[in-house]
Structure formats: structure tokens, C-alpha cells
Structure 1
Amino acid sequence: MSAASVEEHRVLTRRLLNPLTIRSAEPVPVSDALGRVAYADVLSPFDLPLFRNSQMDGYAVRSASVATVPTTLRVTRTIAAGDTGSEALAPDTAMKIMTGAPVPEDADAVVPVENTTLDGDHVTITVSRHSGEYVREQGSDVRAGTVLVRAGQLLEPRHIAVLAAVGLPYVDVCSRPRVAVVTTGAELVSAGEKLRPGQIYDSNGVTLASHLRANGADVVAVFRSSDDPEVFRGILDDAVASAELVITSGGVSMGDFEVVKDVLGPLGGEFGSVRMQPGGPQGTAVVGGVPVLSFPGNPVSTVVSFLVFARDIVREAAGLAPIPTRRLPLKNSITSVAGKRQFLRGTVQDGQVTLIAGPGSHLVAAMAWADVLVDVDADVTALGAGTDVSVVAL
């Protein structure tokens, strides 16, 4: 793969990953559906409320019996929430009723307890009530067949609440793309281990997995390989066996120990440079029918590569909307390297963009402090304060 523009490489990765966007439905318990995406419209199987019930603690009455107040009625029984009795209410009587309890037949109003005085088995009503007051009618919220959740809806707690209220045990959601991450490098060690000279902590595995999960993917495994081709090939085989997409980090540049390129190249992988900074070295391959995206190993390069080439299609495969690009003005003037599209880190304050640190691919802290990626065209070398630039949320 010779030097390509960002858009050319985007087209290549889109073509490679497009099959991931054809998703199937996955039934999951409603209790586990938070953050998932509804696969199809969800219809209510029942009316809600399921039956006429009381909105208040008080007394179920015929409104005609309390048209003139004060009036005293005989209390014939108490109805608790969950009561299954169906005794009709006689004229000029009342039934004590709890919130949520079924309203008896022939009762058309509920008098709140604070508008009453109880004396033995008689209650004095001091405020008249019209028909329908404090009575929740069956289906007054939704009718059976009403669409509760639309296809493509990201399920939030409010959606879980209504699905649970109509008694749905499962909901069909979009299946998540299964992704495996493989980081490479003899210098990498796990967090918590003591570093020896020349070693660094493996942040890319954790970082890529976090970005993938945040964008709807199911991260099935995070592997780490040395620079030994046999070791990497064995790990790659395990990754391919468990995933629909494999993302690798490191081993794609022009050095002597580029294990990803050395192994995937003979398998038909394409490696080269994209005219961008950071993230220039890129690779793509297909192993056992599974697409492999290979990103450079510098931490910021890895993240920018994911954001530019993989995030939107991973989100699409998960049923999520793309992250929108905005145009915002620069707070200060900036300079840029000619011939390479720059993806700079910035922060938005008061509707203006300020760059955070420089363009270096090792500036991890600057990525943490930033909240947007600033996209500067390859033919731009300087932009003045107030100039609008394209930004996308990190």
C-alpha cells in the first residue's frame, strides 16, 4: 500500500469492514439491556395500567354519593394493592382503598384520605369529587399494540422502566460486533509490574478496548505479543477464532522488528503510509475471513487511527449513530505541517477551540486533557485565530 490520503484509506477500511454492519437480533433480558440498541420496534403486549386503579390512599365512592358535602358513608371493606376481589360498590357506601389497588365496580371516583374523617365503620367526606377523579383508567398510559421503543433506540433507564412495566422479560437488541485487540512489542509489560530499563507499560491494549466498548463493541479478548513472528501468529490465530474484527497495535512501520507486517504481509496484508499525522503507518489484512486493522504503536497514533478509521463503522455495526463533526472557531492561531493531514488535540471552551500541547504521537496526557480532535487539511500550513476548523468529539 503506497502513500494514501486519509479518505482513500477510509474507503479501504469501509470496504473491508462493511460486512460487520449487517447485524442480527440478539434477545437479552430487559434487566441487562441498558446501553443496548433496540433491533426492532417494541410493542406493548398489554394496556397500561392493566386495570382501573386508585391514584391515592383514600375511599372509593360513587361521585353522585358525594355531590353534596359533608356526607357520611358506611365503609364496607378495605381494598389493598394486589387485591383480586371484584365486589361491586353499593350506592351511598364507600370502600377504603390503597394507592394502586383496583377500583371496585360501580365506583367512579376516589376521595383522598386527607379529605375524610373516619369514625368506626363510617367515613365523613368533606370534599366532593367528580367522576374520574383520582382513578387511573385501564390503558390511560398506553394501549396494547402501542410502540414503546423504536428500532434503533439506545436503551436508557427510562426505556428499561416501561419495558419492565409491561412485563417483557426479554428484548431484541442489535448484536454487538465482536472485536479482539492484539498489542505487540517486546518492551511492553502489564500495569503493576516493575519496569526494567527500556520497558514501558502496555497502555494500548487497555485504551483500544475502552474505546471499542464505549462505541458499542463486545471486546472478546485483549492479547499481547512479543516481536517473535511465531508467537504473534499463534496469538493472531486465537484472536481470529474468537472475533469478527481484529485490531493490532504496533509492528507496522519501517523498523527491523515489525512483526505484524512481517507476518501479515505474506498472507496478503497491505502495509504502507497514509498522509496524516499522527498515525501515518497503517495496515489491513484478512485472516481466515476475519478483517484485521493494523495501527501504529505510538499511543496517540493508535487512538487517532481508531477514531479516524474505525470508530464510525464500529458504531454503525453496534446500531449507534456516528459522532458528528462540527465547525468551530480557533481561539488562537496555529501552524501545521504541509503535505500531511493533521489530527490535533484540542479543547472547546466558550464555543472556541484551543489546541492542547503539540502534534507528537507520544503525548498521552494531552489526549486525556483534550475533548475534541481538530482536523486540519494537508494543504494548510497556518490558520488564524477565529478561523473555523472541523472538530469531532473524542
Structure 2
Amino acid sequence: MFKRFSGAADALDMLISRSQPLQRTEQLPTLRGEGRVLAQDIFSPLSLPGFDRAAMDGFAVRSEETKGARPHAPVFLERFEPVRTGMPVPAPYDSVVMLEDSIRRGSVLETTAQLHPFKNVSRIGEDIAAGEKIFSRGHTLRPPDLSLLSALAIEEVEVYQRPKVAIIPTGGELLDIGSRPIQPGEAYEINSIMARLYAQKWGASVHKTDIIPDDEGLIREA
């Protein structure tokens, strides 16, 4: 029936040459997108962080007022605001002095750290700027990608529909697993198990036919 065998490389080349790129797409909720392939570029609708954010626990201060501070010559500040990591840095402050570098004495803050503007501050858009491309078409979505998209309030993604794969096991000596005890010259059909699992792992929707005898006509009909 088979006039010649093809090597693995030739068989792969033949499959690729006869394959057509996927065109059909679908919209999915972002949280169902793991392992799916993006059908379009995704741009951020907003900046992360969306405000000047404290990168440390400490006190928001004006950096210019810390000029000259050093371990044995602290400066004393009357204008400051306690902040926690992740909190907005309120105006008119532009930096954060760490708890380790400061002592609060009532309404006065003693610090030994000279700061430059925006020291210990995550600026607006430092991680991602509004309008920035974050993923390209063809990217396969991973769990951290879905977390990022959720942080950007992107609730849906456009992905390619899953490719459909049909597995046709052939061989007159083959039996479905567990259908009955095998006899000499028979074997359980197991190759489709590996093929199906690999195809599903790579994102395909898989259908397996019944076992087909070694008959060219029946194989073509399947």
C-alpha cells in the first residue's frame, strides 16, 4: 500500500508545505487565555504605576531639604508624610527616605540620607506606559501574561481558534485498549495516545477516529 517511506525531515517538510496559516479568530475572557495564541498586537490602555508610588516604607519628603545629610550630620525636617510601599507620594514631596535612614521625633523627622529627586519612588509609567505595545500577534499567553493583562484592565483577548487535528489509527492487528484480551499477532493501539497528548499540549482540538484496517479506500474515507 505504501510505495515508499519518508524520512522525518521530508515528512515534516511535506506537512508544512501543505499547511495553511490559521485565519479564524475568537474573543475570549482574558482569564481563559492561557496557552492561546494572540491574533493581534496588544497595547496598554494605561500606565503602570498610574501615579508616583512609594517604593519603600518610610517618609515622603522634599529631596532638596535633605541636602547635606550624612551619617554623622543629620538634617531635621518639619515637612514630611509617612508612606507605605505602594502608596501614592503626595505633593509637594518628590522622594522617600527609608525608615532605616530616619527617626521621627514628634513633628520633626531626623534623617541621615541625602536624596535626589524621586529617590525610592516608582514614577508614573515606569513599568508600562500608556500606549506601549506589551504583546505581539503570535505570542502564546502564559500565566504571568494573564496577570499583567488583568492589571491593565484588559478583560478580553482576541486569539486564533485552536487548530483541529484528526488522528486516524490504522492496522488490522490493532485493538482498542481493554476491548478484549489480545491474541498472538495483535496489539493495543497506543500511538494515538501520545499523538493526542502532544497535539493538545501544543494547543490543538483533537478528534480520534475508530481504528481503520490497512485498506487504502477505508483510510481515504476516514
TM range (shorter): 0.7 to 0.9
Tell me the CA shift for residue 176 of structure 1. 1.3
Q: Show CA shifts across 1:194-243 (max 9, x none).
A: 73424422212212212322433122x33434xxxxxxxxxxxxxxxxxx
Q: Show CA shifts across 1:331-388 (max 9, x none).
A: xxxxxxxxxxxxxxxxxxxxxxxxxxxxxxxxxxxxxxxxxxxxxxxxxxxxxxxxxx
TM-score for both structures, normalised by structure 1? 0.47
Aligned to 1:101: 87
Among 142, 153, 176, the alignment partner of 2:139 is 153
Count matched residues: 213
Q: Show CA shifts across 1:62-95 (max 9, x none).
A: 112222432333xxxxxxxxxxxxxxxxxx3111
Specify every segment of 5 or more residues in structure 2 that has no aligned partner in the other structure, as ranges: none
Among 163, 188, 199, the alignment partner of 1:212 is 199
Aligned to 2:44: 44
After the TM superposition, which residues 1-394 of structure 1 pair with which residues of structure 2 at under 5 Å, given as runs? Answer: 3=3, 6=6, 14-15=17-18, 17-18=19-20, 21-69=21-69, 70-73=74-77, 92-184=78-170, 185=172, 187-190=174-177, 195-198=181-184, 199-219=186-206, 221-225=207-211, 250-252=212-214, 258=215, 261-263=216-218, 269=220
Q: 2 CA distance for matches of 1:108 and 1:25?
A: 47
Contact 2:182 2:188 in 1 (8 A): no
Q: 2 CA distance for matches of 1:106 and 1:30?
A: 38
SS of match in other structure, 2:59:
strand
RMSD value, Cα: 3.1
Q: 2 CA distance for matches of 1:38 and 1:13?
A: 21
Q: 1:10 to 1:48 in 2, by over 3 A?
A: closer
Q: 1:24 to 1:262 in 2, by over 3 A?
A: closer
Contact 1:189 1:195 in 2 (8 A): no
Q: 1:187 to 1:140 in 2, by over 3 A?
A: closer
Q: Show CA shifts across 1:298-346 (max 9, x none).
A: xxxxxxxxxxxxxxxxxxxxxxxxxxxxxxxxxxxxxxxxxxxxxxxxx
Question: Whose relative contact order is higher, 1 or 2, with alpha carbons under 8 Å and at least 6 apart?
Answer: 2
TM-score for both structures, normalised by structure 2? 0.79
Q: 1 CA distance for matches of 2:152 and 2:205?
A: 29
Contact 2:43 2:133 in 1 (8 A): yes
Q: 2 CA distance for matches of 1:35 and 1:175?
A: 12
Contact 2:176 2:188 in 1 (8 A): yes
Q: 2 CA distance for matches of 1:162 and 1:209?
A: 31
Q: 2 CA distance for matches of 1:132 and 1:9?
A: 56
Q: 1:119 to 1:223 in 2, by over 3 A?
A: farther
Q: 2 CA distance for matches of 1:110 and 1:147?
A: 30
Most deviating of 180-189 and 61-70: 180-189
Q: 1 CA distance for matches of 2:57 and 2:11?
A: 68
